[in-house]
Structure 1
Amino acid sequence: MDIQQHILQLRDELNQHNYNYYVLDQPVISDYDFDLKLKELQMLEDAHPEYADPHSPTQRVGGEITKTFNTIFHEHRMYSLDNSYSKEDLLDWVTRVKKGIDGELQFVCELKYDGASISLTYENGTLQKAVTRGDGVQGDDVTANIKTIRSVPLRLKGDYPDKFDIRGEIVLPFAGFLKMNEDRIEIGEEPYRNPRNTASGSLKLQDSAEVARRPLECLLYNITGTNLNIKTQFEGLEKARAWGFKVPKAAVLVNSIEGVLKFIDYWNIHRHDLPYETDGVVVKINNLHQQDELGFTAKAPRWAIAYKFKAEQVSTRLNEITYQVGRTGAITPVANLEPVELAGTTVKRASLHNADQIEKLDIREGDVVFVEKGGEIIPKIIAVDLTKRPEHSQPTHYIEKCPECGTPLVRNAGEAQHYCPNYNGCQPQIVGRIQHFISRKAMDIEGLGGETVALLVKENLINDYSDLYTLTKAQVIPLERMAEKSADNLINGIEASKDIPFERVLYALGIRYVGETVAKKLAKHFKDIEKLKAALLIDLIAVDEIGIRIAESVVDFFALEQNLTIVKRLKDFGVQLEISSEELASQTNKLQGQAFVVSGVFESVSRDDLKKLIEDNGGKVSSSISSKTSYVIAGANMGPSKRTKAEQLKIRIISEYEFLKFLE
């Protein structure tokens, strides 16, 4: 056998042993024998670099140093999940699902592992990149670190698609976590706080060799892509397992909500027997065509929901109530607690939400309170232990003036929160607005973080976000922790933000109630900032799904002279405050006032492209048929009940080809 053949044979053999050990948990050789074979392969590769392969088992030891993690856009967005905390929530979800799709429902129940979300991209059977979830639209490239995790296959086996993404969680098993902490304590280091945070932090370590030393695992649960030849979620799990991925075996396919509830009841008790942290169950519609029909909201799929197990509770003393000022001027009361361990982390603070919540629970300084993690993430106070209340305890009087600038607070009718109205002079509001402006979903200014913004304001280098475009390298270099390269990155990042499209700039302005989705609708309707600025209340309410509260907020924003000045400066600096001519060229008002329901499987254009064509031409896409529906665009496998309803309401059913011809 020649050298090259021997190298290839060793690689195949070691890959199979890796799979047996880390995925199947069924090793067939000893660790010693495995190490001998790995050393032999390493020696052969060192002696014959012409046969090097980045996907060789020898590459799993790491050693690559990554100083900065590049930000990469996800080809397919990573959505978050809507949460439920009761069986009633689940039943409501099923009711909503049944309104949106036809046919019998099957559900896939999977455990919700508490780790760091990851998206792996494979092309022609080899791992190409690994990207963190980030904000769902873009994340950090951590490929070098992920390659060290032995349950992540570098090469696939079997009949896999040419290209696809697979999503999962990077977790740290309890046994490995305990061993890591024992080793740290032995050398006098502080132990890690919990497995989830340790797993997440591992992904951003600069030295991949250090990552390789950590016993991380990757549990996969969702395949994403086009032309995958997969018809159901459960089939996808089985195929992924056959290709070499570690897919948890707890997942089951059930035919009723009763089966879902049975799965939840079982794991609510037995989750403590698992080798990993888990905080709930994810329920998905099994049929991928039905998933496609249901689609997504702005943040989450309509075809899946997470049921969260009851949160862990502890009691501790509330030492002091302080107050924070947000970028909109909203005041948030904060409970400063005697530090206490809760769900693997030390909790020192908890939100008290607003004055009504404090009054409802009668929360006072000095009380012993019960704390839980809302969704096991954000600590909140759920009750007071009145049996331990100090004898001379006094009721909490909510503050009347802003804790930062001393301005009397206001509370609008029908709203729970108090606000500081000092829009132009309250520093936390100023800093908060600029921090929002530079955030990832807004202007995404590379090299500029929240702490640097606060420092720039403190040094009087900026007073609003338009001032960012006046900054020079000479001004920022003297700042604390600002080296020459950092200064270059900051100035270049600000310059690059001038290419951010209008809809994201509109979101970045920080108009109250104008989130990402609303900003898109307003940008599409008004086309440029001048038309939006001149819009009357009645004009804004006429925009689809824009209510009175949003409309009043937009009018109030542009009524402030300072905001008009800032917007004019942004325009003068070259920030995109209108839809580009290229985008405008692809938009018309041909479908103005018409509502479409898209149902079925299409041949010449994807469902998402159809929806985009409708919206780009002024139409509205609805998920369900009603008397307000203008047309139903029907593809193959359109549900019979939708067809029947359309016929009953005398709504015209057209094919994708008729629709495209109509647009032409």
Structure 2
Amino acid sequence: MTDAIEDNPYLRDPPTDFEPVESLEPEVAERQVERLRAAIREHDRRYYVENDPIIADRAYDRLFSRLQELEDAFDLTHPDSPTRGVGGEPLEEFETVEHVAPMLSIDQSGEVEDVRAFDERVRRELEAAGYDGEIAYVCEPKFDGVSMVFTYESGRLERAVTRGDGREGDDVTRNARTIGSVPQRLHGDPPEFLAVRGEVYMPKDAFREHNRERIERGEEPFANPRNATAGTIRQLDPSVVAERPLEVFYFDVLEASSLENTHLEALEAFPDYGLRVNDRIERVADIEGAIEYRDRLLEERDGLDYEIDGVVIKVDSREARDELGQTARHDRWAFAYKFPARAEVTTIGDVAVQVGRTGRVTPVALLDPVDVGGVTVSRASLHNPEEIAEKNVNVGDTVRVQRAGDVIPYVEEVVEKGSDGHYELPEHCPICDSVIERDGPLAYCTGGLACDAQLRRSIEYYAGDDGLDLEGLGEKTVRQLLEAGLLESVADLYALPERREALLALEGWGETSVDNLVAEIEASREPALTDFLSALGIPHVGPTTARELAREFGTFEAFRTAAEDRPEELERVDDVGETVAQTIHEFFASDANAAAVDAILEAVDPQESTLESGGDALEGLTFVFTGALEDVTRDEAQAFVEAHGANATSSVSGNTDYLVVGSRPGSTKLEDAEANDVPVIEEAEFFALLESEGLALE
């Protein structure tokens, strides 16, 4: 540490009660900024590289906030300031750039015979080249993350680029600046030019916590830490990257203005520059030492907080490396000795709680990634509290994982207990803090539509295939509208046509997408009763039951009266027994649900059902409708064909007989129709088809 750093007042026991910004002279503010930047860089190095912080996190945060405050107030921003790591405006796309030197791949195998063959080739070729120096190897963990190159000029980070095809990759510098273990200015005396290879990864503990948060927000979790890392580093919005827990290990020099004689010497110099190096790196005298290293690391693998899938064995001498050279695809001086895939047995690192549309609470085990039938699995359903107790499953246990029907992973059994007792669900919902109640073997959040998780899923369901089929209102769009404050209830969908300017201000929205959304919403104001009943998301009332309820009661008012006051009348409907009837009654007995339905009815007029007057003239046909029809609503057309024996589905497949298009049809359905060779007919042709069967839709 230099004397200048040692004398810095913000290094040890820093003052955190600062003078008001407005009372500072510009030269005083500039001096304070310089000292804060130097101190924060040193604190970053000690935290990320040395793992030896000298101030508390809260004190660090106050120093960082003060630096931001001064830079903003006195316009003192700088490209390599620590504050540049907090994000920035989203990018439209990444620039593709050429690497300063090729980023080649590594020859690899999981067989020990291939590792020894690699050593024999290295020794044979070096002997043939006249090399008479020592042949030793440096062994490193083979990280399962995202490989990148970080380029520094005069000690400053100039560029961070993904591996891409090895010749060129995406410039993700702005994203890399948000990662705490990426120094924006190097320490010590680095080469004037230095391009280093590093592996960006998400620590396993942080990955599980991040996935827990995604699950509890109702988002799809990442499959494994590598997918999480890859998906994060290529985000166009740096602020999103800044919020996710990424780290970096640096493991090689790609190009430099000056080089050490050995690979190990280079790695030993990295921490002096502020570049974080893994502490499991070892130098061995021969290939048998490398094989022993790999076997030892395989045993330690589960205890590491980062994913590795093998070890990398590298010739240590730079001179020997130069003699061995490269092929078109990989360096001839390195070899990866792979681990066998984890198969079926793994450890539960955490349990997240997922809240569904109906409020059902499902515990989800967050696993150390494991191979199950050729698929990497990092989460598995624990189903319900009763099954958890029966299997005696808890965090820390080693379990066997299977996939039901080759799709849904679940915990089959505990192989080895690593905990006491079994996991207990929390007493309150992690989303809305409402009480979680048990119903037999199941558990439910009592928050109803006041619970954000249930609300978001309710909106998605209302607009989805089993609801009113509002094209363009999928999971991503609903989440965006919720985050923008444009939706706080299902009923708010019908206020969107009046909020055109707010929609146009959203990322990715233009005139066409807004017009299409408005058209979909306006076309849904008079839905068929079947679709409306299904769209409400009443537990146990899907499209089939909704159709039978519509057939029985005819109008929404008649159905609701029975549901609220005479639930026994619901039992007249096929598939509606006492339990389902009571569930429907309880849905409307909830004040939150009743208020939500009333709000929707202010904008929507469910149509009287005509199912009882049908026939079988259209039996065997399947229709899909898209766009706005002129003479009737789309819902009326769907109800009519269903009343006469046809199926009306929301998506086009090979089983679809006709796609009926109105104005502003959805492009996805048109593309699917073309792909499946489905006839596309306009409204007039649809009416002509009905007429040919002796039917008239008025």
TM-score range, shorter chain: 0.3 to 0.5
What is the TM-score when the length of structure 1 is the normalising length?
0.48
